[in-house]
């Protein structure tokens, strides 16, 4: 929908768009005739699609509804794109919205949907294809229109644009009864071509006279007023007038009057003529005068002979079932009893499926049929045993639970008769998009009749259709008012479809530049919008809300300003301070912080909830901080216990290790030595690793030498594990076998239990503390891993010195002079080749290839060799093929010749990539030593042998 700025369209489409408005002729002639005049002028009428002026030489097409004229190529492209777009839209919507996507294309002016595709340009009447240009009457063939859209006579105008004229031919019409005729205009019979609707398109009229035709009874005449079709049954009433002549067939009843068409005379007697059948029943006797039978109203038979009794012995010769014959001696009269046999009756019952199961009997057979048979219920889920004559279908108690046609609801009927068809339908799903949501393929029981009531795309109205599959149709509600933005510059003209949102207005709000109410700041520039303008964002200074009243820079619209600091006022009932952030109300009334004061009994901090000003020990809560219970020297530690439990536990005594450690420390203190000095004394006195008495193994120290940083991390992890008394085990992450081996070795120093768990590549080390008699046996080593390595490295150096001293004391050395081999001499000047020859193979390469190009390629490869500089010569040999000579500056030897041969394939490939594979040929050659430039080129590189060729230095 178009968006207009400060302009509004007057209607959805304009039937006169593009038509020139004359000064005085606009109201005198129709617009389609004005169109012809504007096209004749050549510069007044424009095509609505391409906006180019049309003249009599254009190929034209007109809309059959609004008669708007377009350029043929433009309308053909328009129709092609419209049909493709509608086809894709219908496919994407699963064929659920045919109204919004019609199967055709719309006129750009009046939106008339046309299903005829404009294949070729024709004249106005369509008789001529690609008509010749007509300056006097554009696109007209000059023949009579003869369009028979309204009547059989056809339009009598010359090939024209616009509606066809009314038919003026006089025709004869007859009245309904055919007795009179009239002459009228043909156009008055066709409501489409004339406004005169008095005849309604009917070729007959009513003359107002009686029909007068003889009725089917042959007595009366039709008294209807001028009607069409047959006269029908005779409706004349015949009166008896008290004579009693209108009697029934049996003569028991008579009528005072009867309609002529109801009289049906079958026969007559001497006393009366029967005209109708009554409802009375009569019982007549057989010729035996004992048995009787019932008959309805029928004519009395002419003869008085009675019907022979069917029970007489000459007729009834078998038992009732017909299987056994009756002897003549047993029955002599019709009143004698009919004997029965012992056979089963087996006469067909009225149901047509079974036979009578009774023994041969007199009287009627079983009715209704009571034979038990299996009958499926309506949903075919269960079977029941029912009598054959039970007409109703048995019902089970199972719910259907099949999807309804809407594919949202489920059928809740008990024993639904449509369940078998629904199950069969689910086995053969439909993949065709056009038939997927077709409700005609669903059984009638499962057609959902609930209202849809889903919200439409507009978000305001609800779908009024019954519950249906697929998407709901678009909302068809519309508003007759224009949709206008607050500033009035962006408008969507009416009618406005429901759900249409007003696009963003690109103009400024009307309040821009005015002063705000309350702060007097000017409203900054912003786009047009609905509702209130954005809040004022000018930077101002305001005081915070707490007692400090600090000046805070904030935005103008903010009224509640905070400095972001804690209150920190002392609370009245406890030693803590208020922790609220910049507040105006009262401080904390109930303190919920941790006490945090130091206990006088143990020196630990109280971790209980704030108990006011009462002493921590008087509250009644024991100190539950976990502490270590150790031996007097502090080396042996027990499991961590709560502080108040330490007084009840027995003391831990030192062991032999503690005593040895104590003696070592006393010795260091007495000698005034630190750790490094002590380590040196120990190393000097030791000759084996065991003599060092280090807490770490030699394998662990060797690994530490290679990966000291990683080993320190592992050592730090184990130290932290030992220090945490609450943690009894630790699991390392998966690692490789050498790293696991180091952890196992290091655990020996900490007196820890270790094992490897899981399979590769997720095998890891599990570590656990050793406990003995309730005490933790695992402790940290006396010296760290780093200090042990320093002692071990000093020991290694001392041991190495001892080995050198021993070797010097026990091994003697003598020196001998041996003659060195002389270097091989290289023959100079005796090589087979002393240059490289480049030969061009055609004229095009002779022009492209020159010494500069060859030198550029050679230099790329010479810098990777020891050949050095090269001289470049051009051959003076008189031939169609140019030759170039590349010779080393240095004196030729076997090494240079070898390097030249090695570089030759690479240079050849580079030249072939630049000039072509068969354009240049390279080979080894030789120039004489007297510098007379005689060249010998050998055939091994694919070139012909040439001698006595003169060349010059380039």
- Residues 473-486: tens digit of each pLDDT: 988 888 888 999 99
DSSP secondary structure code for residue 268 in this structure: B
Flag whether pLDDT at 436 surpasses 80: yes
Q: Among the ranges 412-421, 432-441, 802-811, which has the highest mean pLDDT value? A: 412-421
Q: Which residues pair with 259 in a beta bridge?
A: 237
For position 763, which CATH number holds? 3.30.1370.50
- Enumerate the β-bridge partners of residue 921: 839
158-182 burial, b for 16+ CB within 10 Å, e for fewer? ebbbeebebbeeebebebbbeeeee
Q: How many whole angstroms separate alpha carbon 509 and alpha carbon 528?
A: 4
Question: Which tokens in the block code for residue 924?
Answer: 């080894």
Model confidence at 259: pLDDT above 60? yes
Q: Is the pLDDT of residue 670 over 80?
A: no
Task: Looking at the structure, tell me whether residues 375 and 464 fall in a common domain.
Answer: yes
DSSP per residue over 674-721, as a string? -HHHHHHHHHHH-SSGGGG--SS-HHHHHHHHH-HHHHHHHHHHHHHH
Q: Strands (DSSP E) along 556-672, which ranges?
A: 626-627, 637-638, 641-642
- Banded pLDDT at 614 (limits 50, 70, 90): confident
Q: Looking at the 3D structure of the chain, how many domains does it have?
A: 6
Distance from C-alpha of 482 to C-alpha of 495, rounded to nearest angstrom: 7
If asked whether residues 11 and 155 sit together in one domain, one would say: yes
Residue 532 has pLDDT above 50, yes or no: yes
Dihedral of alpha carbons 442, 445, 451, 455, sign: negative
Mean predicted confidence (pLDDT) in 440-461: 90
C-alpha distance from residue 116 to each of 71, 163, 762, 845, 903 (Å): 17, 19, 75, 66, 77
Determine, yes or no, domain membership for 30.
yes
The answer on 736 and 631 residing in a single domain is no
Name the pLDDT band for 742 (thresholds 50, 70, 90): very high
**728 and 867: one domain?**
no
State the pLDDT at residue 918.
78
Q: What percent of the chain has pLDDT over 70?
A: 85
The per-residue pLDDT for range 381-390, each reduced to its tens digit, is 999 999 998 8
Q: Quick one: pLDDT at residue 84? A: 87
The full DSSP string for 768-785 is EE-EETTEE-----SS-H
Counting beta carbons within 10 angstroms of the beta carbon of residue 369, is it exposed (0 to 12), middle (13 to 18) or buried (19 or more)? buried
Q: Contact at 8 Å (CB) between 924 and 837?
A: yes
The H or E element containing residue 479 is: strand 478-479
What CA–CA distances, in Å, run from 47 to 35, 55, 125?
A: 11, 10, 20
Q: What is the mean pLDDT of residues 705-722?
A: 90
Considering the domain boundaries, does residue 315 fall inside one? no
Assigned domain for 81 exists: yes
With cut-offs at 50, 70 and 90, classify the pLDDT of residue 954. very low
Identify whether 397 is part of a domain. yes
**Confidence at residue 440, expressed as pLDDT on a 0 to 100 scale:** 86
Is residue 243 scored above 90 in pLDDT? no
In a domain, 662, yes or no: yes
pLDDT higher than 50, residue 345: yes
CA distances from 67 to 15, 44, 121, 897 (A): 8, 17, 15, 95
Average pLDDT over residues 410-425: 93
Residue 553 lies in a domain: no
pLDDT, greater one: 900 or 179: 900
Percent of the chain with pLDDT over 90: 22
Separation of alpha carbons 946 and 940, rounded Å: 13
**Amino acid 484: pLDDT:** 93
Confidence of residue 8 (pLDDT cuts 50, 70, 90): very low
Whether the Cβ atoms of residue 791 and residue 799 lie closer than 8 Å to each other: no
If asked whether residues 758 and 857 sit together in one domain, one would say: no
**Rounded Cα distance, 497 and 474, in Å:** 10
Q: What is the pLDDT of residues 299-342, one digit of tens each?
A: 766 666 788 898 888 888 889 888 888 887 678 888 888 888 99
Identify the CA nearest to 731 among candidates 751, 754, 699, 759: 754
Pairing mode, strands 274-276 and 247-248:
parallel
Is residue 44 pLDDT above 90, yes or no?
no
Lowest-confidence pick of 456-460, 832-836, 928-932: 928-932
- pLDDT for the residue 267: 65
Per-residue pLDDT at 942 exceeds 50? no
pLDDT 10s digits, 136-186: 999 999 899 988 888 888 888 999 998 988 888 888 888 888 888 888 888
Per DSSP, 56 falls in state T
The per-residue pLDDT for range 220-242, each reduced to its tens digit, is 888 888 888 888 888 888 888 77
Q: Which domain holds residue 668?
A: 625-672
pLDDT at 197 over 60: no
Q: What share of the chain is helix, strand, coil (3-state, %, to 5)?
A: 20, 20, 60
Whether the predicted pLDDT of 396 surpasses 90? yes
Which residue from 901, 904, 922, 896 is spatially nearest to 829, judged by alpha carbons? 896
Same domain assignment for residues 146 and 15: yes
725 part of a folded domain: yes
Across residues 677-702, what is the average pLDDT?
67
Burial bucket for residue 187 (CB in 10 Å: 0-12, 13-18, 19+): buried
103-108, long-range: CB within 8 Å, 24+ apart, which pairs? Answer: 105/78, 105/79, 106/82, 107/63, 107/65, 107/66, 107/68, 108/48, 108/49, 108/68, 108/70, 108/78
The helix (run of H) or strand (run of E) holding residue 764 is strand 764-769
**CA-CA distances (angstroms) from residue 154 to 32, 33, 124?**
20, 21, 15
In this predicted structure, the answer to whether residue 410 has a pLDDT above a threshold of 90 is yes
- The pair phi, psi for residue 843, each rounded to 5°, is -70, -35
630, pLDDT greater than 90 = no
Dihedral in degrees, nearest 10, Cα atoms 224, 230, 236, 238? 160
Backbone angles phi and psi of 708, in degrees to 5:
-70, -40
Round to whole Å and give the CA distance between 720 and 732. Answer: 13
pLDDT > 90? residue 269 = no
Residue 736 and residue 843 in one domain: no
DSSP 195: S
Nearest C-alpha neighbor of 855 from the set 921, 899, 804, 910: 910
Q: Is residue 939 part of a domain?
A: yes
- 386 Cβ neighbours under 8 A, 6+ residues apart: 372, 373, 375, 394
Is there a single domain that holds both residue 34 and residue 148? Answer: yes
Tell which wins on pLDDT, 482 or 866: 482
- Together in a domain, 129 and 45: yes
The mean pLDDT value of the chain amounts to 81
Q: Phi, psi (5° rounding) for residue 566?
A: -70, 155
Strand partners, 630: 637
For residues 745 and 855, membership in a common domain is answered with no
- Claim to verify: residue 762 and residue 901 sit in the same structural domain: no
Radius of gyration of the chain (CA): 62
Least confident of 17-31, 53-67, 774-788: 17-31
Burial 247-285, CB ≥16 within 10 A → b, else e: bbbbeeebbeebebeeeeeeeeeeebebbbbbeeeeeee
Q: What average pLDDT does this structure show over 591-618?
A: 84
Please indicate, yes or no, whether residues 680 and 788 belong to a single structural domain of this protein. Answer: yes
């Amino acid at each position: 929908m178009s968006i207009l700025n400060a302009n509004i369209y007057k209607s959805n489409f304009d039937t006169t768009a593009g038509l020139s408005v004359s000064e005085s002729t606009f109201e005198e002639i129709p617009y389609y005739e004005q169109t012809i005049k504007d096209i004749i002028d050549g510069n007044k009428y424009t095509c609505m699609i391409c906006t180019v002026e049309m003249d009599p030489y254009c190929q034209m097409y007109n809309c059959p509804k609004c008669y708007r004229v377009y350029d043929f190529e433009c309308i053909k492209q328009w129709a092609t794109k419209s049909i493709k777009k509608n086809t894709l839209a219908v496919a994407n919507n699963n064929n659920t919205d045919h109204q919004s996507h019609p199967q055709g294309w719309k006129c750009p002016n009046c939106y008339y949907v046309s299903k005829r595709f404009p294949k070729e340009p024709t004249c106005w009447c369509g008789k001529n294809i690609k008509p010749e240009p007509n300056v006097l009457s554009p696109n007209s063939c000059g023949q009579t229109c003869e369009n028979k859209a309204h009547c059989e006579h056809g339009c009598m105008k010359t090939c024209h644009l616009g509606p066809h004229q009314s038919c003026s031919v006089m025709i004869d019409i007859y009245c309904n009864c055919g007795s009179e005729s009239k002459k009228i205009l043909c156009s008055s019979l066709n409501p489409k071509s004339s406004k005169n609707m008095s005849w309604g398109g009917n070729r007959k009229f009513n003359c107002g006279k009686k029909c007068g035709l003889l009725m089917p009874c042959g007595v009366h005449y039709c008294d209807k007023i001028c009607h069409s079709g047959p006269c029908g049954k005779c409706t004349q009433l015949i009166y008896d007038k008290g004579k009693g002549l209108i009697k029934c067939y049996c003569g028991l009843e008579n009528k005072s009057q009867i309609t002529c068409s109801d009289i049906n005379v079958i026969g007559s007697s001497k006393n009366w003529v029967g005209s109708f059948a009554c409802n009375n029943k009569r019982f007549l006797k057989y010729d035996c005068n004992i048995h009787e039978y019932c008959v309805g109203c029928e004519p009395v038979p002419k003869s008085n002979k009675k019907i022979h009794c069917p029970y007489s012995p000459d007729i009834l010769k078998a038992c009732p079932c017909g299987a056994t014959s009756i002897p003549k001696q047993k029955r002599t009269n019709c009143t004698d009893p009919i004997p029965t046999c012992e056979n089963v009756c087996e006469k067909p019952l009225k149901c047509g499926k079974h036979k009578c199961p009774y023994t041969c009997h007199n009287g009627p057979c079983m009715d209704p049929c009571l034979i038990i048979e299996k009958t499926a219920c309506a949903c075919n889920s269960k079977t029941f045993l029912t009598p054959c004559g039970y007409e109703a279908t048995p019902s089970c108690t199972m719910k259907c639970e099949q999807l309804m046609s809407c594919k949202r609801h489920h059928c809740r009927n008990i024993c639904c008769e449509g369940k078998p068809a629904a199950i069969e339908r689910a086995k053969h799903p439909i993949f065709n998009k056009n038939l997927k949501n077709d409700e005609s393929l669903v059984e009638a029981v499962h057609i959902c009749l609930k209202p849809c009531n889903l919200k439409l795309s507009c978000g305001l109205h609800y779908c009024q259709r019954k519950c249906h599959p697929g998407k709901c149709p678009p909302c068809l509600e519309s508003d007759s008012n224009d949709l206008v933005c607050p500033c009035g510059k962006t408008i969507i003209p009416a009618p406005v479809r429901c759900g249409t949102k007003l696009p963003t207005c690109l103009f400024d709000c009307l309040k821009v530049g005015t002063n705000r109410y309350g702060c007097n700041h000017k409203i900054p520039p912003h786009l047009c919008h609905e509702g209130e303008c954005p809040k004022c964002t000018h930077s101002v200074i305001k005081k915070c809300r707490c007692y400090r009243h600090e000046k805070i820079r904030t935005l103008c619209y903010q009224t509640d300003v905070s400095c972001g600091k804690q209150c920190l006022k002392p609370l009245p009932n406890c030693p803590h301070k208020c922790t609220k952030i910049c507040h105006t109300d009262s401080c904390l009334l109930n303190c919920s912080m941790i006490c945090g004061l130091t206990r006088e009994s143990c020196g630990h901090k109280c971790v209980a909830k704030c108990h006011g000003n009462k002493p921590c020990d008087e509250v009644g809560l024991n100190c539950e901080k976990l502490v270590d219970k150790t031996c007097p020297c502090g080396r042996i530690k027990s499991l961590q216990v709560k502080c108040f439990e330490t007084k009840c536990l027995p003391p831990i005594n030192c062991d032999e290790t503690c005593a040895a450690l104590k003696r070592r420390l006393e010795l260091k203190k007495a000698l005034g030595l630190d750790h490094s000095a002590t380590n040196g004394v120990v190393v000097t006195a030791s000759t084996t690793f065991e003599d060092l008495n280090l807490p770490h193994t030699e394998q662990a120290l060797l690994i530490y030498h290679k990966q000291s940083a990683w080993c320190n991390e592992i050592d730090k992890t184990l130290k932290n594990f030992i220090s945490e008394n609450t943690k009894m085990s630790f699991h390392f992450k998966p690692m490789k076998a050498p790293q696991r081996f180091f952890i196992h070795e290091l655990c020996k120093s900490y007196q820890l239990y270790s094992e490897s768990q899981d399979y590769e590549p997720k095998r890891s080390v599990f570590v656990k503390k050793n406990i003995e008699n309730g005490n933790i046996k695992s402790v940290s080593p006396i010296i760290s891993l780093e200090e042990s390595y320093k002692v071990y490295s000093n020991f290694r150096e001392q041991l190495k010195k001892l080995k050198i001293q021993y070797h010097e004391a026990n091994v003697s050395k003598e020196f001998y002079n041996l003659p060195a081999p002389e270097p091989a001499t290289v023959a100079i000047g005796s090589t087979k080749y002393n240059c490289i020859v480049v030969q061009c193979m055609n004229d095009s390469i002779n022009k492209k290839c020159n010494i500069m190009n060859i030198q550029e390629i050679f230099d790329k490869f010479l810098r990777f060799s020891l050949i050095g500089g090269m001289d470049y010569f051009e051959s003076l040999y008189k031939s169609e093929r140019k030759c170039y000579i590349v010779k080393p500056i240095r004196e030729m030897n076997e090494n240079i010749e070898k390097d030249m041969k090695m570089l030759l394939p690479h240079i050849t490939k580079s030249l072939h990539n630049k000039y072509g594979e068969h354009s240049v040929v390279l080979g080894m050659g030789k120039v004489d030593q007297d510098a007379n430039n005689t060249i010998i080129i050998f055939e091994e590189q694919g070139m012909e042998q040439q001698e006595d060729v003169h060349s010059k230095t380039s």
